Amino acid sequence: MFHLFETIRIQDGVPQHLQWHQARLNDSYYRYFKRFGGPVLEEVIRVPEAYSQGTVKCKFFYNRSAHTAGFSHYTPKPVRSLKLVDGDHIEYSMKYTGRSSLDQLYSQKEDCDDILVVQNGRITDTSYTNIVLFNGEMWITPIYPLLQGTCRARLIREGRIREGDIRVEDLKHYRHFRLINAMLDFDAQEDVDVNQIK
């Protein structure tokens, strides 16, 4: 049984940003299994010929002693509205294969495209992405996300986004948001009016 996974973007047969996924895998492997020595992504991911063109999602599952990878062609699903939901009780600090708590929250999205989880009054993540918000001067991402996303970490390191403590009542100070993860490149996202967070 696989407990953890990484979602990796494959572009025209080439895995993207593997060093960021490897860093998170190493951290999760040690935290979950209490040992070093997880799989080395660069050595074990082999993209099948059928997935050598276009944008492909690789889901790399792993446990203490084994790993496997699945591939699928990827088309992003537009998200234009978010429903604020209370997620004080959930914990998703690693990419667990068990997502029942998030799935339960997702069922509360009503007529919105996705949820935006609130913990202790603070904005965190959607069901599958980190969020960044524009205040008129810079892009800010919540300092307390559910999951430390690889794209989020890379953009912070590059100085393109900054961390900030964003409470629900602070949303009025922002204009737009974008959603990011390994499959959703920051520059490819459209700005969405923050009033679409309900």
| pLDDT digit string (tens) for the chain, length 198 residues | 778 999 999 999 999 999 999 999 999 999 999 988 899 999 999 999 999 999 999 999 999 999 999 999 999 999 999 999 999 999 999 899 999 999 999 999 999 999 999 999 999 999 999 999 999 999 999 999 999 999 999 999 999 999 999 999 999 999 999 999 999 989 989 999 999 999
Distance, CA of 97 to CA of 120 (rounded, Å): 25
- Structural domains in the chain, sorted by start: 4-73 (3.30.470.10), 82-196 (3.20.10.10)
Residue 62 burial (CB < 10 Å; 0-12/13-18/19+)?
A: buried
Q: What share of the chain is helix, strand, coil (3-state, %, to 5)?
A: 25, 35, 40
Could you count the other beta carbons within 10 Å of the beta carbon of residue 101? 15
- At 44 the pLDDT is 96
- At 37 the pLDDT is 84
- The answer to whether the CB of 189 falls within 8 A of the CB of 161 is no
Distance, CA of 54 to CA of 63 (rounded, Å): 29
Q: Does pTM top 0.85 for this prediction? A: yes
**Residue ranges in 75-127 assigned as alpha helix (H):** 100-106
**Residue ranges in the chain assigned as alpha helix (H):** 18-33, 41-44, 100-106, 150-157
Distance, CA of 67 to CA of 6 (rounded, Å): 11
Judging by DSSP bridges, how do beta strands 114-119 and 82-86 pair with one another?
Answer: parallel
